């Protein structure tokens, strides 16, 4: 039986309407849109789905047997916390707060290269903000309920000027630049030229500055030049069960002194569930 998720009940119509707005507002969208969609499809196919957590949070995660949204756990690295998550979710999915339960809210991760160790050292910023434990998911289990945004949807209210896209059928609605109808006014520059970031990204794709081989290094390659392109954010809809959805867990730490008990618990859990566990001493 196909799973149904509150956030996705009317999403396709909402995205379709937004795509129509893009087509009307952005000159030559019929050209740049497919180029972006094709590129996204390729990196989704080649990349891996991740989420970082702090080692200290592992005990609760293993006990629950799942990764829960911060609307349930109360833990958030986002400025504005719960209020910001509610505001952003309602805008990006065209839903009302009163219609949502805490478990309906997305869990956040990112798309990166399939090599977990390269991913870790490429994205060290995530370690300090989100944690030194990296979950890599079984991509095939999540394709039908994972959404993508180019850049951080929470930065400066970006969620008011984009619509996420399904990774199973990526469209160019996931780039900041055109109001999704829930926002206050955008900056004057984007009001005058809402397609500027679409054109910019297509130029980088066609010039092969950003490719299927280096997309996970986007922040280093073009992020300093254009901060709207720092990483590929993923939003996971529905439960993330460890036994069903996690392929491997990589832990990067200098040592486990004082936390040997948690390490042992993690090793036993992974052994019993068949999850691959990799320990990396820094």
For 110-148, write each residue's pLDDT tens digit. Answer: 999 999 989 988 888 778 888 999 999 999 999 999 999
Secondary structure (3-state) at 280: strand
Tell me the residue range of the domain where 39 lies: 6-52+69-242
* Residue 275 falls inside a structural domain: no
Which whole-number Å values give the CA distances from 205 to 102, 119, 200, 228, in the listed order? Answer: 38, 21, 9, 15
Task: Return the pLDDT at 188.
Answer: 46
Distance CA 23, CA 273 (A): 48
If you search the block for the tokens 């399904």, which residue do you land on?
166
Residue 4 pLDDT class (50, 70, 90 cuts) = confident
Q: What is the number of residues in the chain?
A: 282
Q: Residue 185 domain-assigned?
A: yes
Q: Flag whether 267 is in a domain.
A: no
Per-residue pLDDT tens over the stretch 30-43? 999 999 999 999 99
Domain total for the chain?
1
Distance CA 231, CA 51 (A): 13
SS3 category, 224? coil
Q: Is residue 41 classed as helix, strand or coil in its secondary structure?
A: helix
The pLDDT assigned to 186 comes to 55
Residue reference for tokens 């109001």 = 179
Asked whether residue 24 is domain-assigned, the answer is: yes
Mind listing the pLDDT tens digit for each residue in 72-91?
887 655 555 788 899 999 99
Residue 276 belongs to a domain: no
Examine residue 257 and state whether it is found in any structural domain, yes or no: no
Provide the strand spans (E) within the chain. Answer: 48-53, 66-67, 107-112, 133-137, 146-150, 165-166, 232-236, 240-241, 246-253, 276-281
Q: What percentage of the chain exceeds 70 in pLDDT?
A: 93
Residue 138 belongs to some domain of the structure: yes
The HSE-up count of residue 277 (CA atoms within 13 Å, CB side) is 16
Report pLDDT for 31.
Answer: 95
273 occurs within a structural domain: no
């Amino acid at each position: 039986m196909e799973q149904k998720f509150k956030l996705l009940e009317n999403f396709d119509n909402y995205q379709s309407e937004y795509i129509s707005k893009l087509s009307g507002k952005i000159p030559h969208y019929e050209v740049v849109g497919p180029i972006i969609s094709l590129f996204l499809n390729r990196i989704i196919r080649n990349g891996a789905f991740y989420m970082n957590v702090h080692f200290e949070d592992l005990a609760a995660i293993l006990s629950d047997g799942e990764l829960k949204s911060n609307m349930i756990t109360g833990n958030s690295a986002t400025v504005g916390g719960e209020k910001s998550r509610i505001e952003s979710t309602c805008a990006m999915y065209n839903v009302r707060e009163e219609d949502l339960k805490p478990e309906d809210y997305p869990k956040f991760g990112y798309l990166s290269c399939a090599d977990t160790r390269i991913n870790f050292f490429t994205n060290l910023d995530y370690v300090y903000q989100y944690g030194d434990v990296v979950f890599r998911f079984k991509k095939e289990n999540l394709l039908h309920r994972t959404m993508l945004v180019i850049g951080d949807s929470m930065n400066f209210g970006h969620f008011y000027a984009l619509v996420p896209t399904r990774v199973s059928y990526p469209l160019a609605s996931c780039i900041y630049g055109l109001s999704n109808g829930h926002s206050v006014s955008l900056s004057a520059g984007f009001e005058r030229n809402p397609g500027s970031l679409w054109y910019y990204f297509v130029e980088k794709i066609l010039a092969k500055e950003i490719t299927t081989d280096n997309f996970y290094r986007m922040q280093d390659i073009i992020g300093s030049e254009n901060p709207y392109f720092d990483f590929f954010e993923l939003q996971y809809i529905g439960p993330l069960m460890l036994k069903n959805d996690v392929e491997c867990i990589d832990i990067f730490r200098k040592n486990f002194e004082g936390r040997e008990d948690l390490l042992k618990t993690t090793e036993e859990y992974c052994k019993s569930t068949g999850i691959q566990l990799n320990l990396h001493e820094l």
